[in-house]
Amino acid sequence: MSSIIKSVKSILPTLDRVLVQRIKVSQKTTSGIYIPEKNLSKPNVANVIAVGPGYTAQGGVEVKPKVAPGDKVLIPSHGGSPINVEKKEYLLFRDSDILAKIQE
């Protein structure tokens, strides 16, 4: 799949899907000790890269995603559809799967 997708900018989510990238956790502790990558827990915080246009629910009601590109969000520790582009991992979630929007 990575040979087909040349850039993450070419991925346009459909319906209410949201493309995110996990924020990397520092491998170095405050005291200067390095933690092996396999021992790090997956962070639940991600940056929103792209958002689909939404969908039309029964009754003709338009449902728009609640997040926008550039937002920081809290995502479930498991789930999402992984996509690897340029040796980086991205995840596709439904808007309803996103747990919270982080306001800074």
Residue 43, domain CATH: 2.30.33.40
Residue 88 domain-assigned? yes
CA distance 89 to 82: 7
Distance CA 88, CA 21 (A): 9
In a domain, 80, yes or no: yes
The tokens describing 63, both together, are 């449902």
Within a domain: residue 1?
no
Task: Tell me the pLDDT tens digit for each residue of 51-65.
Answer: 999 888 888 888 899
* Total tally of structural domains belonging to the chain: 1
Would you say residue 83 lies in a domain?
yes
In the numeric block, the tokens 């200067």 are attached to: 32
The pLDDT tens digits of the residues spanning 29-84 come to: 677 777 666 665 667 899 999 999 988 888 888 889 999 999 999 999 888 999 98
Whole-model pTM above 0.75? yes
* 66 domain-assigned: yes
Within-domain flag for 63: yes
The verdict on residue 3 lying in a domain is no
**Inside any domain, residue 98:** yes
What is the domain range of residue 68? Answer: 8-102
How far apart, in whole angstroms, are the C-alpha atoms of residue 6 and residue 24?
Answer: 22
d(CA 46, CA 10): 19
